[in-house]
Structure 1
Amino acid sequence: MKNLIIIFITFCCVGFYSCVDLDLEPKGQFTEAEFFGTEAGVQTYFAGLYGWLPIEDFHYQQNNGYRPGDAWGTWESPKQQQATMSAEYVGDPQVNNNGNDYWRYDRIRDVNMFINNFEKYKDLYTEKKYNELLGEARFLRAFIFSGMVKRYGGIPIISEVQDPMADVETLRVKRDTEYDCYKFIYEDLKFASENMTEKADKYRGTKWTALALQSRLMLYAATIAKYTQYVPFAGEEAYEKGLAGIDASKANEFFQYSYDASKKLIESGPYQLYKNYSDLAVNFHEMLLDTDSKETIFFKNYLHHDLFNRNAYLIGHNWDALMLPNPSMSNFVGAQAYPSLTTMQSFEGFPDLVAEDGTPKRWDSPADIKNSMEPRMRGSMFFNGDVFQDVTFEMRRGLYKTFPWQANVVKDGLNNESPHNTNNNRLLSNDYNTRYTFSAQEAANIHNINVKEDGGTYYINVIGAHGTRTSTGRENNCLTGAYVQKYINPKMEKGKIIEHASFQPWVAFRLGEVYLNHAEAAYELGYKDEANTYIRKIRERAGCENLDISNDPADVIPWDYEKTTTVYPIDVELQFIRDERFRELWGENHRWWDLRRWRVADKVLEQFRPRILSCYYVLDEDKYIYLDEREMGDRTWTANRICYYQAIPSGEINKNPNLLPQNPFR
């Protein structure tokens, strides 16, 4: 009897990569030989697996997960993006300590089916091509397996296709240790990187993609090993059995694996930091949009293909429609999340908002706040005066009739505390069209704000065209004084920035991340000069003035450093490396996983309340001020110690009690 591999729609109708050009007859099922006996068949088989890779992209939702088979249902994804969970953005919701399930042994079985049976077709391939395809399969298995390990810790290592007719107890496999799981991933990636093609391909795994994944995951394992000892897991059965946590003595083993992979990719790979524009802010922004970028190692695109219908169909994501303000830019419901002042202040060159005498610094133009910012920051966020498709951003919270007070009067109290906000001295509005009127003589003396005229009435709008309203809701209401620019595509057709209409790829691996992985691993291994070399390269491209790793506590992010030192002692230089990772990879969905692996999530995100950048126009001075204020909705981020390991899904435990013990604190 022929071996049949049934391919269901849920397997095939997912995000495909380079395989959309395959010309295959639509069928409901294929023989094993049709898939594994030709390179085109193998690529078709792999294509379905690529769509299930655990990539936290535009469609990923912190509450609902990857949803690879429900792309049409992801229009709300920017509302639930992971960067809001790590407080990189201010929006809703906040921390999901329980995480979302990714129990993908169905896909592991699919990969194992190939790995276990491919040898039967070895004579149909050259040895090189056979090993390339086998290496790609092991890359896919390592990637899918890692999505489970980084959530649950130790899980069963399944490398052979299980017989569903076998004895029940045989099928009820036990969990392996977290150490063994990361070693299994390492062995798969080692084989993959030694055998996969060296030809760069952003759409499919290559030798370099395997090295990039090894660089990242082995750093995860190393820091989990080094820092888990500082979490109070003692007495928890899963911890005591090695299912949650890795012994600290193994840390350097994994740091070395990460270091070696990064070094090999950097020194031998065909990649380089993106430096295509002399304007470094433009350069940093275009880096993620340029599909020809030599920095990009691997990305996820949004071209879908259905094996049951030869006509490929397209479905985009919603990033532009749900991160730009409506109606002047977005033609959908408008922006959903915004960078906080706390985030802005972590970048080099963010200006002091307070003058030497303690009063708010005065500005002739609200756009002047950008003058000293590092270019990387200006390429990541939109500020007052920035332009998108001929529309100038205007974020103003309101007007002050006068402001002779010290800046710190707004630091810790409510946003309506006296005396500066009483007796109608501060004017706010929930309506973008609310006016403040002037006489013709008064209007003639105003130079720094655009005074409009309507039938002989002179006026300015109380709030900016793009915020901020008094509502505490985050939809289409710039809560923080800036918008997200990262990944925004200025080349979209004007008037058609709607849901499912964005097609810029999500960059899953880029050389900049590998530099940061390498710097962190090198520092942890004691190679401080080498770590500094790669931090310098990152900061030079970012347009920073101070390029070296700093040992001055004044140069690290105060909140993160203070909170981390309540967990364990940390060198200022290492904190600086972590901070640089935050700045470079801000908004690219690394932050949550980083805080977890460093074992500081429950401290850095302990009653964390982001501050906001509030711009006001002062009427009696014809000047602008920026105030550091409390976020209007008083949103609070709180991670707790259960976040480090998700609970093994109860449904899986019901089927297999040998998955117990449950993870710590669950």
Structure 2
Amino acid sequence: MKKLIVSLFIAMLGTSCNTLDVPPLNIIQDKDIFASESGITAYMASLYNDMPIQDHQATVNGFNNYWNSWPQAGHMSGELLNNMLFFVWDSPSGGMFQFWAYDRVRKINYFIENMPLYKADFPEDKINAWLGEAYFCRAYYYLAMVNRYGAVPLVKEVKNYPETSIEELQIPRNTQQEGWDFVAEDLDRAIELLPEESLTQGRVNKYVAYGLKSRAMLYAASLCQFDTPVSGYEELLGMPVSKAQSYYQAACDAASKLDGKYSLYNKYTDKFENYWNLFLDEDNPEVIFAKYYKYPEYAHSWDVHQIPFQIRGPEGYSSILNPTLEIVELFDDINGNPFVLKTTDEKGSPIRYDNPYDIFKDVEPRLKASVILPNDTYKGEVIEIRKGIWTSYPDGELKTTTDFSVMYKDMPVMGKSGMGHNETTTTGFFVRKYQDPNLPNSQVVHGHSTTQYIEMRYAEILLNKAEAAFYLGKKQEALDLINQVRERAGAKLYTLDQLAEENVRKERRMELVFEKHSYWDLRRWRIADKLMNNKKYTALCPYYIYDEGKYIFTKEEVGTTYTYDVKVNYAKVPDGEIAKNPNLLPNNPGY
């Protein structure tokens, strides 16, 4: 190695000064990026990879976490609890879901400024498509930041030091309204430039940008209608009530552009089979924007973390994320009635069931396709879930244990999949959505799952438009849109009289359950603290009465009391960023 370094040094001394005046070999030059399609594709891939998509590998602490796919937004919305080993409580610190993305923004600004300099090398439609993708990515990043922090600096061009002084680089925060309007502006520019068809699978087109605009404008409208800034923050964070209607209309208009371009997935006549396969089938007219995976190049670990204990793979691990009873009972039954699980009769005595699945006989197909219920079937096996065994002999004792090897008479106390062990369900339920029933158990290990992650689908667009139409006073239009979603789900259709705000919101939470929307929805409606503060979540616990051959159920609180501080409606601007830029002060209220 020393000989190699010396030889290089001698060779450099023997060259002319002109030859030495070249860029370092370890620095990628603009011509390497912008003068070839492969360079541009690689650069664009980095912009997509930087998107804060809350996919199978996203956690409250960051994105693209290969191994740990928990915790995630479900914990913060009451949809999911971790199993006993990995219990997550809450974070009133405001530090969860951070995304301060100015390194990423700079990459995009650099691309937008430099790509046109090479326009003679490529067809105009390709230049436009690439620039459209860049504007979309910048809008996506800023949407994520404005949604978190409310007010952030809007940096629209590359700033270089020392050409730009330190003082000039310390940009103050723009107002929240300016942030939402900038997201809309970038999406309008993307729409203007993007083609109708994506360049390749997984990349955006004009209609993805319209879809994101419908989401962004709905969020902005909600804040106009429901947020009340803390005194002293009205100018920075305040969203004018008078703008709510125009934002709702913008959300409606953008959503309407996708009509006829996408449709709800309806490949199977069986409603349960159809809804479950919606998330597994890549040949899918409902998918607008998704992340795709391929083993071994790029895979995730969703299955190994969610599979029931009794069919887990060779590495172990299972049942990490457990649906709460609260989210299960949010759904309707097939007759349109509230789905309240009956555990006691009118006298208060436990109801006996021959089979624990009998309590779910009227379950809506969409719920069954999202949640594995006690004694439901998955991968050809009945998933046994018990909390314990009652017997009237010798002394009416209750047998419970966390050890699967313990047998009571001829059956394990916990069943084959829980409850109580640190890799079984805490709540009595498992997540079914996105689990691949065709993945061999030998492959249910870390880094082997390839199920797509759908970041945007047509059902969300219909619900965006329905919510906006509802608040615009167009109740019939909102009803028609929501009933499209309910019909596909196997739910009883709403009547106009039933279309209250509560049901508009409930439909969104049911349809998009476990898809990382609920936390942000509850936040923008400003009801998260009402639903989650000082809250303990509930499990449904099946018990087997041995000498009767019957099952009973109890509803039991699990975990610790959850705290949701209203200050979390705006995330904390990171201390490290304020240390570099004091003009970011004041921080958001409460920090």
- Taking structure 2 as the reference length, the TM-score comes to 0.89
1:85-126 deviation digits (Å, cap 9, x = unpaired)? 212012221322322421111111111111112222233344
Aligned residue number for residue 301 of structure 1: 292
Aligned residue number for residue 658 of structure 1: 583
SS of equivalent to 2:89: coil
Aligned residue number for residue 277 of structure 2: 286
SS of equivalent to 2:463: helix
Does residue 363 of the first structure (1) align with residue 353 of the second (2)?
A: yes
| Aligned AA (1:254) | Y
In 2 relative to 1, CA 373–287 (structure 1 residues): closer, same or farther, beyond 3 Å?
A: same
1:428-466 deviation digits (Å, cap 9, x = unpaired)? 2222232333xxxxxxxxxxxxxxxxxxxxx23322111
Aligned residue number for residue 254 of structure 2: 261
Distance of 1:181 and 1:142 partners within structure 2: 10
SS of equivalent to 1:335: coil
SS of equivalent to 1:507: strand
Aligned residue number for residue 560 of structure 1: none
Match of 2:145 among 148, 163, 168: 148
Cα contact 1:549–1:577 (8 A) shared by 2: no
| Aligned AA (1:217) | A
Match of 1:326 among 309, 330, 333: 309
Cα contact 1:400–1:425 (8 A) shared by 2: yes
Cα contact 2:184–2:217 (8 A) shared by 1: yes
Residues 133-142 or 363-372, more deviating: 363-372
TM-aligned CA deviation for residue 145 of structure 1: 1.6
Distance of 1:194 and 1:401 partners within structure 2: 70
TM-aligned CA deviation for residue 399 of structure 1: 1.9
| Aligned AA (2:579) | N
In 2 relative to 1, CA 574–353 (structure 1 residues): closer, same or farther, beyond 3 Å?
A: same
- Taking structure 1 as the reference length, the TM-score comes to 0.79
TM-aligned CA deviation for residue 151 of structure 1: 1.2
Aligned residue number for residue 68 of structure 2: 76
Match of 2:415 among 464, 467, 470: 464
Cα contact 2:308–2:383 (8 A) shared by 1: no
TM-aligned CA deviation for residue 477 of structure 1: 2.1
Distance of 1:658 and 1:256 partners within structure 2: 35
TM-aligned CA deviation for residue 30 of structure 1: 3.6
TM-aligned CA deviation for residue 547 of structure 1: 3.6
SS of equivalent to 1:338: strand
Aligned residue number for residue 584 of structure 1: 511
Distance of 2:346 and 2:491 partners within structure 1: 25
Does residue 433 of the first structure (1) align with residue 360 of the second (2)?
A: no
Cα contact 1:86–1:95 (8 A) shared by 2: no
Aligned residue number for residue 322 of structure 2: 338
Does residue 94 of the first structure (1) align with residue 78 of the second (2)?
A: no
Cα contact 1:202–1:297 (8 A) shared by 2: no
Aligned residue number for residue 375 of structure 2: 385
Aligned pairs, how many? Answer: 557
TM-aligned CA deviation for residue 402 of structure 1: 5.6
Distance of 1:272 and 1:660 partners within structure 2: 46
| Aligned AA (2:458) | L
In 2 relative to 1, CA 245–95 (structure 1 residues): closer, same or farther, beyond 3 Å?
A: farther
Aligned residue number for residue 567 of structure 1: none
Distance of 1:124 and 1:550 partners within structure 2: 60
Aligned residue number for residue 186 of structure 2: 188
The answer for unaligned runs of 5 or more in structure 2 is: 1-17, 334-338
Cα contact 2:309–2:418 (8 A) shared by 1: no
Distance of 1:549 and 1:330 partners within structure 2: 48
Alignment RMSD, CA only? Answer: 2.4
| Aligned AA (1:642) | K
| Aligned AA (1:195) | L
In 2 relative to 1, CA 334–585 (structure 1 residues): closer, same or farther, beyond 3 Å?
A: same
Match runs of 1:500-649 below 5 Å: 500-548=447-495, 551=498, 573-631=500-558, 633=559, 635-649=560-574
Distance of 2:430 and 2:416 partners within structure 1: 13
Cα contact 1:287–1:293 (8 A) shared by 2: yes
Distance of 2:174 and 2:294 partners within structure 1: 37
Aligned residue number for residue 166 of structure 2: 168
Distance of 2:456 and 2:23 partners within structure 1: 32
| Aligned AA (2:88) | P
Cα contact 1:202–1:296 (8 A) shared by 2: no
Cα contact 2:310–2:417 (8 A) shared by 1: no
Aligned residue number for residue 133 of structure 1: 130
Identity %: 34
Aligned residue number for residue 219 of structure 1: 218
1:163-182 deviation digits (Å, cap 9, x = unpaired)? 21122221111111110111
In 2 relative to 1, CA 300–356 (structure 1 residues): closer, same or farther, beyond 3 Å?
A: same
| Aligned AA (1:391) | E
| Aligned AA (2:210) | L
Does residue 206 of the first structure (1) align with residue 209 of the second (2)?
A: no
TM-aligned CA deviation for residue 372 of structure 1: 0.8
Cα contact 2:310–2:416 (8 A) shared by 1: no
| Aligned AA (2:366) | R
Distance of 2:146 and 2:69 partners within structure 1: 24
